Structure 1
Amino acid sequence: MLALPGSTRVYLACGATDLRKSIDGLAALVQAGFGLDLFASSLFVFCNRERNKLKILYWDHNGFWLFYRRLEKGTFEWPRGSEGTVTVTSRELRWLLDGLSLSQRQAHPQVTAEIAV
């Protein structure tokens, strides 16, 4: 996957999305349905009802990227809510894409260090 700036926000569209929608349909959903800024440094991630396909919409400089992922086996651990979005970190998105839960209890928590020595 592309390396994105650390300031990139990731929004998961809760519930199932009709993935027959392409860039324009997903963009309309982001703006009208969720009230989010489509042109901010953000990824908008959508999942189908069977939880085996994802689409990721991303604005980059002068156009949109639309990433598509289809699993041959297994499903994504997708948030079950029916409306709105969930904001996750890029680390949590990698977990999700790897088939893991968004809450990895064994993962090391982030440490905010103030002094190295």
Structure 2
Amino acid sequence: MLQTVTGRALVYLHREPIDFRAGINSLAVLVQETMALDPFAAAIFAFCNRRRDRMKLLFFDRSGFVLVLKRLTEDKFRWPRREAAVVTLTTEQLHWILDGIDIDAMVRHPVRQYQVAG
């Protein structure tokens, strides 16, 4: 099942916290109505609670929905601080968030352009 999650191209993060009593059906409706996305799309939908110590991932896997829950015992997820209600990430960025990395604080090193001496 983890290969299914990592093989997906896009992750849609619901930026605002949700009521964590929500199950698969409620989250699928939230994806469709609030996020204006297709819950059956080949994507992962990520949600976090108010305390930022729990994350739910929802995705459709050929024959049905899969709901994954991760609960941190001592830390909090570094949820992106963006203006958009829905944040689009790569699966790599999702893994960074799951590993406790603040992706908003990451700075990419400058790409240098080299010319070959002729």
Could you tell me the TM-score, scaled by structure 1's length? 0.82
Contact 2:8 2:44 in 1 (8 A): no
Question: Hey, what does 2:33 align to over in structure 1?
Answer: 32
Match of 1:57 in 2: 58
Aligned with 1:105 (options 100, 104, 107): 107
Preserved contact between residue 15 and residue 83 of structure 1 (Cα < 8 Å): no
Residue aligning to 1:2: 2
Q: CA deviation at 1:6?
A: 4.5
Over aligned residues, Cα RMSD in angstroms? 2.3
> What SS does structure 2 have at the residue aligned with 1:25?
helix
Q: How far is 1:79 from its partner?
A: 2.4
Q: In the TM superposition, what is the alpha-carbon distance from 1:19 to its structure 2 partner?
A: 1.0
Larger Rg belongs to? 2
Distance 2:26 2:8 in 1: 25
Pairs aligned (count): 109
Hey, what does 1:18 align to over in structure 2? 19
The corresponding residue for 2:47 is 46
How far 1:80 moved relative to its partner?
3.8
Q: List gaps (5 residues or longer) in structure 2.
A: 112-118
Name the CA distance, whole Å, in 2 between partners of 1:56 and 1:102: 18
Tell me, in whole angstroms, the C-alpha distance in 1 between the residues paired with 2:16 and 2:83: 4
Q: What amino acid sits opposite 1:105 in the alignment? A: V
Moved segments of 4+, more than 4 Å:
none
Q: What TM-score results when the alignment is normalised by the length of structure 2?
A: 0.82
